[in-house]
Structure formats: structure tokens, C-alpha cells
Structure 1
Amino acid sequence: MSDDVRRDARASAERHLRELVGRDDAALREDQWRAIEALAVDRRRSLVVQRTGWGKSAVYFVATLLLREAGAGPTVIVSPLLALMRNQIAAAERAGIRAVTINSTNIEQWQPINDAINAGGVDVLLVSPERLNNPGFRDEVLPRLAATCGLLVVDEAHCISDWGHDFRPDYRRIRTLLDDLPGGIPVLATTATANARVTADVAEQLGEDVLVLRGSLDRESLRLGVVRLKTPEQRLAWLADHLAEQPGSGIVYCLTVAATQEVAAFLRERGHAVAAYSGQTETTERQALEQDLVEGRVKALVATSALGMGFDASLGFVVNLGAPSSPVAYYQQVGRAGRGTDEASVVLLPQIEDRDIWAYFASLAFPREELVRQTLDVLAGAGRPMSTAALEPHVELTRTRLETMLKVLDVDGAVRRVQGGWAATGQEWAYDAERYARVAQARAREQAAMLAYLDTTECRMRYLREQLDDPEAQDCGRCDNCGGLALPTEVSAESVAQAGERLARPGVVVEPRKMWPTALASRGIDLKGKIAEGPEEGRAVARLTDLGHGQALRELFRAGEVVDGPVPPGLARAVLEVMKDWSASWPARPVAIVYVESTRRPTLVRDLAEGISRVMQIPVVGRWAIVDPDVAPDQGAMNSAQRVVAVRRRFDLDAQVPAGPVLLVDDLVVTGWTMTMAARALRGAGAAAVLPLALGLQG
């Protein structure tokens, strides 16, 4: 390629950049031009590992315009989040790029979009990785796109690698797409969070002769610091006292959905304009909350990591209430701040319960080999496609883990997603236990590195950059250890007292199950459709993940440690408070108590029932009794169908049931099916209503 051609291409690229950003003085940096040149001039495959805010989207939009001018087909961008798609479409439109998206929320637009693509009326198509294995899209749309696209972009490419902190099985489908591309179609993979191992893994998957552009991962606007406080009350009080001091608007990250709701409620009580945000927030509400944050109508969103990749705004701060499980994940979260601002504060408030939460998420790793083999056997024996719901009664996995496992098996060729569900291919499959073990060991090392970040006396930005194998890592001069940030550690007595009052306030709703699991008939159980004889809305003192009473419950129900005995005094007082508040919504006062028998904590459950009996002056009339001790206490807890089967075998009603409301008492609600089946039996025996009460609610 001649120098004149390259100079002309760069001049056109600079013109497109100015249109994209709306500034006449905008100019490409040399590293940005190298990436664009590789794609639009040399038609190479490239991996760009650059910090958040570097301008990765400018690279692929400018390259798209150059390629389209040369007669190439549309660019296909694989993006992980709808928030990212919305931001990218808006950015593209500013430069006159015709961009559309195909995702799960706009199914009715798929056909018009396909027609527009065929007519040449689309420059950029954004798709979610999940679309790549939708049978209709995979078999009908994807082959045509692979044959005609001008550029393939894989955003957040660390998701391709199972060494990455945010591995997603759907991204592995991209490897197949890469193999199907005709020669000469350029490919760009981008990420801000890849260490050397992940970078090498992604580059290998892209193929041969890949240009890897890896830049400095310093974020010059960020000022990092850690504030260690001993109690949950102090940490909440710190937020209440110091949130207003943080520059602009920002994000308060929490590790669990329950914490986002609890923290947001407390901060609103203290006069802060905040809102909770998580993966459970409805799509329309999420969009509205994101816009409120961008436009400064709220001081902060109290969010899980669902507000993460692809959220593009100029935020002044990020506060983490609890540490993510790896420095790489933490680097990505704090990268939401400091875009378009000279200074942004980043504060980490670690919690003693962080490791418990990390352990819970780690338990969701790839299933044991026997469960995988069981799934393959069921599919092979079915002789027809089976939906995930139809598989559940046969495999003891949650629907999420079952779905994730099937996606991995699909990429491995052992199963195939088809119309109507999943089908076995008959292809031999090997369980790569050694690799799964290495990944688990890597996760353990990441957790240890995150704990070391809390205690380090060296530069915090340098520490994070070294964890990402940044060869240019050096002291930042801006963090608390470098002397560039002084964070207050004091909290007011008033705030601590109010936080303590908030955390001591017991009571969470135990929602009744509404529908029977599908496919129970395949296990000989004639239950389907809407649950007609279930319990009323119940109550528990707290969730195990809650900040207040959750700590006492975590100690009581700690995995691997069975502690039996009377109800601890603090929880006993909390039960009475819950009962007092809850009684206003009872259909009528309970006339009797039935408790769920336990083999692990028989004294605890019985003491709870008898204590309530003494206070309310109503009798304990029986129990939901264990009749088959060979069924383990938590057998089937991984999914609803399995759990119903196990509960039906394990328990039967042993009680003289009066014709009035009955209080049903248990220690811990995990799936809700024990309470549901017991309520059905109680209603069948004459109870007018069943009111479930438990010490804890898992989740």
C-alpha cells in the first residue's frame, strides 16, 4: 500500500472523527490511527487493550466510515449490554452512521431491520452475544452477515476468555463466527480489562497475524483511596456523612441486590437523592435511572455490577461498599468515573462479609462432571429437543447454571440449541477438569490480590495496573498512599445511631410461589399451572446478604457449620418486632402454630415455635414432619422442579389442624418450596390461611 493512499486515508479518518465528536480541533492520536489503519487500510485482525475513555468506539466508527466509502458491507458489533448499545447508537448517529440493534427487547423490529440490511440501509448492526446462538438468528441471519459484513467488532473482548474476570459462554460462539468470515474481512476486539494471560488467549482465538495494541492503563483523573471502618453502621454512616462531598454524580457499588435496596433506602432517609439499580430493575426503569444519573438529577445510583460495561457518562466518583473479588473487576468498575473530568474520587469501603459473598458466587462455577453427564444422558434419551424448564426435573442445577452449562456444551459441540430447546449431538465430549481447576486457582489468586490491595502501602493505581500486567505502571501521585488524596474517616454519632437503627429494623417479605414448575408430570406429580392452595405473603427477619441482622444469620447458617440451640436473643427480639409490624396485614389472627421439622437444627426451630406460642398464647399443634430421612435436607435445592420432588418425598403433615389461620414456622427459606408444599397440605387439612415465618431468607 502506497504512502499516498495511507495519507489520504488518514485525512479522511480525521474528518470523520471531527464529525463524530462535533469538534473542529479533534485529531486522532497515533495509537488510534494505527488501529484504524490496520482495519480499514490493511484489513487485518486487531486486539486493542486500552483504558476506559481511550476512544475505542471512535476507532471502530471511523474505520466503519472508511470501509463503507470503499464499498464494504456493514459493521457488526457484538456488545454485551443494552446500555452500551444505546450509547453507541447515539454516538453513531452524530456522525451520520446508520446504526441499528437486534436484541431481546425489539423482536418486532427484527424483520424490518433485516430488510434494511439487505437494502444497504444499515452501516452498523449491534447484536448481543446471546443472539449469536439464537436458532433463528444463527441459522438464517448470521451466515448472511458473515458473508457480507465489512468489519466485525467484539467489544469487551475479555469475555471471550474463561481466564477473564467476566467470562461469558455466549462469547465463545464468536470463535465460530470468526472461522466463518471470508478472507480479508477485518476484525477488531477491544477491552480495557485484560491482563497478559487474557490478552494472549483472546489474540490466539482471533487467529494468525493479529496486531495487538496495548497501551498504558493509567487513568489520570482517578484518585484512589481505601477507608477501613469496623462495622456496617459506620460504613453506612460514612456514606450518609460524606456522599455530598463527592464531586458531581456517581455510583455507589454494592455486592448484592439486597444491599442496593437497603443502602439506597437509608441514604434517601438521610436526604440524599439516590436510587437502587440492579439486574432485577425493569428495562424501562433502568434507562430512566441511567439518564437521571447522566443529567445529574440524582447524586448517585446505588448499584450492582449490572451498571457496568458500556455505561458512558462523565461521573465524578465511584464508591464501593464491599470489594469485588478481583483487582481487574475493581479496575473496570472504578473506570466508570473520571471520563471527561479532570478529577474523580474512588473510595473503597471493605466489609468483613465480602469473602462470604465471593464464596457464594464462586459456588456457581461449572458443574461437576456427573451433573454434566447426567444432562447429556437425559437429552440423548429424550429423542427430541428439551427446553431448559423440561430438563430441570432431571438435573439438580439452578436454571441459570443449567443454561450456562448448556451454552458451554453447545460451543463444545456436545449439544445444539434448536427450535424447541436443546438436543444432544452424539459428539464425544471430554470434561476438562484440569482447566476448570486452573481457572478456580486463578480466581483464588485474584481474591488474594484484592485483599492485598486493601493493605498495600504502595501506589494504588500502580498496584491495579500491575495486576493488569501494564508494563508502564508507575506511581500516580494522586492516591491516598501517594499523598494525593486525603479521605475523612470520621463519622458522626448521629449518623452511626441512625444507621444502627436502620440495620436493626427487621423484616423482609417472603413472597409466595405463584406457579408450579413445568414438567412435574414427567416425575409422576400432577401439579401444574397456578398454585391455588399456597401460603400467604410471609416474613423473615432478614436476608442472609443483608447488612444488619444478616450478619447474625450468616453466622447461624454458615456453610459447613451446624449450630443448633435456642434462638439467639437478638434474633428472638427481632422476630417479635417482625410479628408486631406484620400482624396489621394478617387476614385474621393465627389460631395455631405448625413448625417445619429439621434434622440439622431441631432445637432452633422448635424453640422458635414454642417461643412464639408463649408470646401469642396459641398452641403448637404439630409439624411438617420428616418421613423419609434418606432425602437430604437441601436435596433438589438447585432448581424448582427437583426441589418439589424432594420435598414431596421428605415431608408429610403431622398435625391436628384447626379451621383458622395457621402460623407456619421454619428457620431458613431457601427456595420457598418447603413452605409452599407445607401450606398446601395445611390448607388441605382445613387451615383457612397459612402465614409463613422464618428467621432467614437466603438471597
Structure 2
Amino acid sequence: MTTDTAVPDDVRRSSREAAERHLRALVGRDDASLREDQWAAIEALAVDRRRALVVQRTGWGKSAVYFVATKLLREGGAGPTVIVSPLLALMRNQIAAAERAGIRAVTINSTNIDQWQVIQDQIHAGEVDVLLVSPERLNNPGFRDEVLPRLAATCGLLVVDEAHCISDWGHDFRPDYRRLRTLLAELPSGIPVLATTATANARVTSDVAEQLGVHADGAADSQVLVQRGTLDRESLRLGVVQLKTPEQRLAWLADHLAEQPGSGIVYCLTVAATQEVAGYLRDRGLEVAAYSGQTEADERHGLEQALVDGRVKALVATSALGMGFDASLGFVINLGAPASPVAYYQQVGRAGRGTDDATVVLLPQIEDRDIWAYFASLGFPREEQVRETLAALAGSDRPLSTATIETRVELGRNRLESMLKVLDVDGAVQRVQGGWVATGRSWDYDAERYARVAEAREREQQAMLGYLRTTECRMRYLREQLDDPDAVDCGRCDNCGGLTLSTSVSEAAVAEAGQRLSRPGVVVEPRRMWPTALANLGLDLKGKIAEGAEPGRAVARLTDLGHGQALRALFREDTPDGPVPPGLAQAVMDVMKDWSPEWKARPDAIVVVESATRPTLGRDLADNLSRVMQVPIVGTWAIRDDTVPPRAGASNSAQRVSAVRRRGALDAQVPPGATVLLVDDQVATGWTLTVAATEIRAAGAAAVLPLVLATQG
């Protein structure tokens, strides 16, 4: 490491002594002392005022580095530290740790909007030592234009937590983080910067370090300290349990979860799976709860605290759960494999902090690759979609909201917003009060880069499959995937002989899992509001949908563990059209039986949604229902313009409503006051059912009950 020789040795010694005192206050132990690698990072920041990238395993003490550096800098008269952190749970833990060391820390995020002005006033008055902000704040016009410039000019230290998110090559790239490159370039000279992550391979490390070195004049800083430590986690024992069926995997959880040390996390790949698995485990007498990005903020906080306190055995969660450094968890179990070894290493790192022994188990699923493919399909949009967006903004004399842009471009809300954030950082568009505007700056579509990223993702998926198959040390395999040069056999995993995992499951658990997975029926919630800005597409529809569908039913979600497997097979592109398979036909009857007590009136007519791709399937479903229920089929939601593709506009609601209205029309004799069963093979956006239901109601029906085989949600 290169140090500033202008700093006298006695200043370095006194700074080290002060740093040791601050560390003892931070951890609450008189015998605590900094390791040499921790001091090297602190010295670079607080003494030499340099920029540093620290890639160290979870539990190494990265937070101690920036809190101790903050104390040293503040004592020297520097401004407050600004920490960009993506995890609210981590923010709460960071604030609690800071307070123990006498550091005044506050946060600005989406959950405390009512406190923003008070916090900003405290910052300007010098009453705050540490400000934690979420990356989303960096893209908020008010914060970006009014608050951020003052912070950049006056902050004493900038910390970028989870810094792999900056890089396209990182496993968790986030567009909001891209604004940090601009912020870094605009920082006044002499303000140190620390970027930290526990999961970065050599390519990500090089990319982030390069971005750290950019300054306002465009010059690159060759003095960025890059510190990479060993990624071994001595407390973790890794293993894989290969089981053939979803019933067996659920049963394994029921039989063996209680054996795991302490409390922990059961990770699932989808929101639906968290709810299904948590419900099954609770029925088996285990204290668990579901957790995902759809969980309300207050409930999330309560569940996180219950896990830390050991009041639940496990949270059954998506990757939305990211525990802070104070969590001491005894196990992580993955029901389904993440799409890369790097992402997997990030998740298993939640366990084994502050414990000598933690168990990590992966239960791979056949459907994992389908789920990976779905998430991969949500990558950066095609060039023509980007150009359409830029043209729409350039052709408007006022800012356009995201909802309005949706009516001009066939992209879903999340992909559209992510794309706009990237274009914003690239300078082609700008987010302002009221929406988005084009800047007029030229922009090049870097197809080669996007292709390279997609290829890298594919290689990572193959590497994850390699982890499942390997007979060598599992920890060594993960460390090598992160380019850890010191990777050696751990002696603790199932392949090294340090962990033995039972593959046995009880007949009772398998039977109960089978019953739960075979239990059909998912509520199909009706659309309640028309999309905004439909007038731009020539449709006089807005506000609340006054007369639409009642809550409907699907046999299962395509991502479900039970009937989802049969439905995925049925709707594969290479599966020929045909009648409803017997197993699913019985499931439909079971759904009808469970659903019927909720009807205000029994259906007395059936309308079928005509399908161009699977006409036999939909008609067979309706014919079976008609025969069993003794209810006539009175017509169809018919295809009237087959030049409109079946899934046209599916990426966003406004475009989809327009496409459904152009493609289809009601061709049915609806009895006045009838309760109509509206039958379709599957539902994706819900807008076909919604538009058809409004037309059926307009034709005189009293109620419309949608029934489908599968839902994609």
C-alpha cells in the first residue's frame, strides 16, 4: 500500500491509538483490537484521505472500518459520513451499532418520508455524524438536485455498501447505483471513499475499482487501495441434498428443520413458494413465517427482529431478505438454487456470523432453470424499445410520467423504470418533477456489452449446476468462482466429510406435503382500476372499473410446487394442443367444489375465451364444465383481428388493454341477469379476463366468475 509520506509517523501512531479506542467503544469490549488489514483500510481513509475498495467476507468487520474512520475524521473536523446502503434491515443495525460508539446516525429512505426535512436540518446544523441513504434516493429529483450536491461538497467520507451492485458484472446489479459514478466524479479533492462488498470476483473488483478512480477532470486515480481478503467462512458447513420430487423436498424441511442449529432462513426463488412452504411448515408445527418484497415494511421489521431474537425457527424468504451484520443465524437452507455461485455465496453468508458452527443446505429443484430463464428475460430492453422511449420523450413538450410512457412503449413498469434510470445516468434522459424528459444528448446502444453480460450470466448458471454436481470441496468451489487465490479444501462440507446430511423423509411428511401440493385453487383477483393515460391510445376508459369480474380461481400458479409442475409441462411451447389431462381435469372439479360456497348465485351460462394457440384445450375445459354442471355454453370471447398477436402489449397494462380490445370481441347470447362462468386456459396480466368481463356485464350479466387452469403470477 502507498501512503502519504507527508503525514508524520507520530500522527499515524496517535491515529492508530485513537482508532483502537473507538473500536472498543463500538464493540463494547475492552480487549478488542484492530487487525492489520482493518487498520490498513482505516489508515487509507482517515489518515491518507484515499479511495479504497474492500472485498472481504461477511463478518470480517467492514462496518467497523467505516465507523472508526468516521470517528477519526469527525475529530479532525471533517463533515458527516454518507453511507449508501441497499438494505433497510442493515441500516437499522448500522444505526444501532453507531449509537453504541457515540456516533449520531440517521437515515433517509422510503419509510420515513415525514422525517426528511428534520433530518436535513440536523445535517446542516452539524448534528449528524452518519447519514445512511438508500440508492433509490440518488435518483429522486429533489434529493439529487437539492440535498446531494451539498452532501457531496461537505461530507467527510462516502461509503458505498454492497458495491458489487455498481457493476454490470455483479450478481445484483442495480441501476440506481450507477448514479454513484457521477457522484464520485464530482466529489471535491481529498474526500475519501470506501466501497465494500463480500461478493465480488476479479472482474467485478476491477470494474468497481476503475469506477472509484474516476474524478471530475476525467483523470483516473491510480492510488485506489484494493484490498481482497480470503473468502473462507470457517463457521459454514455446506451440503447438497438431491431429492426427486417437490413432496420429498418439502417433507425433508418438515423432518429436518428442527434439527438445524438456532434460527435461520429458508430461501425460495419465488414469492408464491415462500407462502406455500411457510404454510406447510406451520401445519407441521414449526414456527416459521413468509417474507418477501411484497411484505409490508412494518411487518418486515417485526419479522427480522423475531428472527434475530430467535422467536421463530426460520423465515421462509425470497432474496429480498438481507440481514444486517448483527444477526447470528445457525443455518441457511435454499429450496431451489440461485442463478450463480456468487449470488449463492451472498445468501449463505447470512449464516455463521458470531457462531462457530452453521449449516448450509441446498435442495435443488427441476424447475430452477425455468425460473432462471424467466428472470434472465427481464434484462436490458431491445434497442428499438429504447429508441421508442427516447422518441416519445423528445416529441413531448412536457415531462412524461412513467405511466404515460407505458402507453407509447411495450415495456412493463419495472423494466421501463430500470431502463430510464440507466438512460438517466448515461445522460440521455433526466428525471424531473412530473416525470422524465429527453436531454437531447446522443446515446449509443451498446449491444456488444449487453451480449457479454448475457453470456456471463449463462456461464454463471452453468457454474451453479457444476456446484450441484461437484464431488470436490464445496467451499473451495465457491471461493474459486469468486477468484479467491487462497481457496483450499475446507474439511467441513459434505464432500470433505465434515458434514453428513440425511436424505431420509418420513412417509407422514411426504403424504402431508403431497396433500398440500395437490390441493388446487389460487384466487385470481380482478382488476379494479383502468390503467392511466388510456386516452393516449384512443380509449375512453379511466378510473375505477365499475362492473367487472368477481374474484376468480386458477388451479395453480405456473411457479407452484404441486400442480405447477403439470401446468408447466402442459404449456411448454413443444407440447401439442389437446384436451385437459385427467389429473388437471380432476383438479378443476376440486377447485369448483371448494369455490362454490362463495358464489352469490350458481353459474347458469359459460363463455369461453377463444385461443389461437390452444383452441382444443380451452374448449375441452369448457365442455367438461358444461357437461358436469349442466350449464350451457352461450358463446365466446372471439378473435376478431388475428393480426394482433396473442400476447401483444403484455409488457404493460395500457398497451395490453388496447391490444385485447383490438384483438377480441364478445360473440355470445348472454341471458339477462345471468351469472357467467368465464373460462380461459391461463392468465398472465389479467386484462383479457377484465375486458371480456366488462363486455359480458354490459351485455346483461349480473356477475362474471373467471376460471383458468394456470396463472403466471
**TM-score normalised by the chain length of structure 1:** 0.99
Contact 1:562–1:600, Cα closer than 8 Å, also in 2: no
1:297 aligns with 2:311: yes
For the residue of structure 2 that corresponds to 1:611, the secondary structure is helix
For the residue of structure 2 that corresponds to 1:606, the secondary structure is helix
**1:349 pairs with 355, 363, 369, which one?**
363
Alpha-carbon distance between aligned partners in 2 of 1:180 and 1:309, rounded to the nearest angstrom: 32
The alpha carbon displacement at 1:3 in A equals: 1.6
Alpha-carbon distance between aligned partners in 1 of 2:53 and 2:174, rounded to the nearest angstrom: 18
Aligned letter for 2:542? K
* Equivalent residues in 2 for 1:283-682, closer than 5 Å: 283-308=297-322, 310=324, 312-558=326-572, 560-561=573-574, 563-658=576-671, 659-682=673-696
For the residue of structure 2 that corresponds to 1:241, the secondary structure is helix
Contact 1:312–1:336, Cα closer than 8 Å, also in 2: no
Alpha-carbon distance between aligned partners in 2 of 1:110 and 1:486, rounded to the nearest angstrom: 51
Aligned to 1:33: 39
The alpha carbon displacement at 1:158 in A equals: 0.2
Aligned letter for 1:597? E
For the residue of structure 2 that corresponds to 1:101, the secondary structure is strand
Cα distance per residue 1:124-149 (max 9 Å; x no partner): 00111111111111111111000000
Contact 2:609–2:679, Cα closer than 8 Å, also in 1: yes
Contact 2:676–2:703, Cα closer than 8 Å, also in 1: yes
Alpha-carbon distance between aligned partners in 1 of 2:563 and 2:525, rounded to the nearest angstrom: 19
Alpha-carbon distance between aligned partners in 1 of 2:566 and 2:395, rounded to the nearest angstrom: 47
Aligned to 1:111: 117
Aligned letter for 2:265? I
Aligned to 1:228: 242
> Which segments of 5 or more consecutive residues in structure 2 lack a partner in the other structure?
1-6, 214-220
Contact 2:238–2:361, Cα closer than 8 Å, also in 1: yes
Aligned letter for 1:302? V
For the residue of structure 2 that corresponds to 1:436, the secondary structure is helix
Contact 1:666–1:694, Cα closer than 8 Å, also in 2: yes
Cα distance per residue 1:239-271 (max 9 Å; x no partner): 000000000000000000000000000000000
Residue identity (%): 81
Cα distance per residue 1:84-121 (max 9 Å; x no partner): 11111111111111001111111111111111111100
Alpha-carbon distance between aligned partners in 1 of 2:575 and 2:600, rounded to the nearest angstrom: 36
Alpha-carbon distance between aligned partners in 2 of 1:29 and 1:563, rounded to the nearest angstrom: 64
Cα distance per residue 1:254-299 (max 9 Å; x no partner): 0000000000000000000000000000000000000110101100
Alpha-carbon distance between aligned partners in 2 of 1:81 and 1:18, rounded to the nearest angstrom: 26
Contact 2:241–2:361, Cα closer than 8 Å, also in 1: yes
The alpha carbon displacement at 1:337 in A equals: 0.2
The alpha carbon displacement at 1:562 in A equals: 5.1
Aligned to 2:277: 263
For the residue of structure 1 that corresponds to 2:395, the secondary structure is helix
4+ long deviations beyond 2 Å: 308-312, 560-563
Alpha-carbon distance between aligned partners in 2 of 1:312 and 1:195, rounded to the nearest angstrom: 25
Contact 2:304–2:323, Cα closer than 8 Å, also in 1: no
Aligned to 2:3: none
Using the TM superposition, name which of 151-160 and 653-662 deviates more. Answer: 653-662
Aligned to 1:192: 198
Alpha-carbon distance between aligned partners in 2 of 1:169 and 1:286, rounded to the nearest angstrom: 24
The alpha carbon displacement at 1:310 in A equals: 3.8
Aligned to 1:163: 169
Aligned to 2:233: 219
Alpha-carbon distance between aligned partners in 2 of 1:557 and 1:431, rounded to the nearest angstrom: 34
For the residue of structure 1 that corresponds to 2:475, the secondary structure is helix
Q: 1:244 to 1:60 in 2, by over 3 A?
A: same
Alpha-carbon distance between aligned partners in 1 of 2:574 and 2:527, rounded to the nearest angstrom: 29
Aligned length: 698
Alpha-carbon distance between aligned partners in 2 of 1:383 and 1:164, rounded to the nearest angstrom: 37
Contact 2:56–2:198, Cα closer than 8 Å, also in 1: yes
* Equivalent residues in 2 for 1:27-66, closer than 5 Å: 27-66=33-72
> Which segments of 5 or more consecutive residues in structure 1 lack a partner in the other structure?
none
Pairwise CA RMSD: 0.7
Aligned to 1:698: 712
Cα distance per residue 1:434-480 (max 9 Å; x no partner): 00000000000000000000010110000000000001100000000
The alpha carbon displacement at 1:312 in A equals: 3.9
Q: 1:562 to 1:412 in 2, by over 3 A?
A: farther
**TM-score normalised by the chain length of structure 2:** 0.97
The alpha carbon displacement at 1:561 in A equals: 2.9
Aligned to 1:146: 152
Aligned letter for 1:397? L
The alpha carbon displacement at 1:374 in A equals: 0.5
Aligned letter for 1:656? Q
Aligned letter for 1:86? R
Cα distance per residue 1:513-565 (max 9 Å; x no partner): 1110000011110111111111000000000000000001111112x435310
Cα distance per residue 1:300-327 (max 9 Å; x no partner): 0000000026464000000000000000
Alpha-carbon distance between aligned partners in 1 of 2:392 and 2:582, rounded to the nearest angstrom: 49
Cα distance per residue 1:142-168 (max 9 Å; x no partner): 110000000000000000000000000
**1:121 pairs with 106, 124, 127, which one?**
127
The alpha carbon displacement at 1:419 in A equals: 0.5
Contact 1:626–1:650, Cα closer than 8 Å, also in 2: yes
Aligned letter for 1:523? L
Aligned letter for 1:219? R
Q: 1:390 to 1:641 in 2, by over 3 A?
A: same
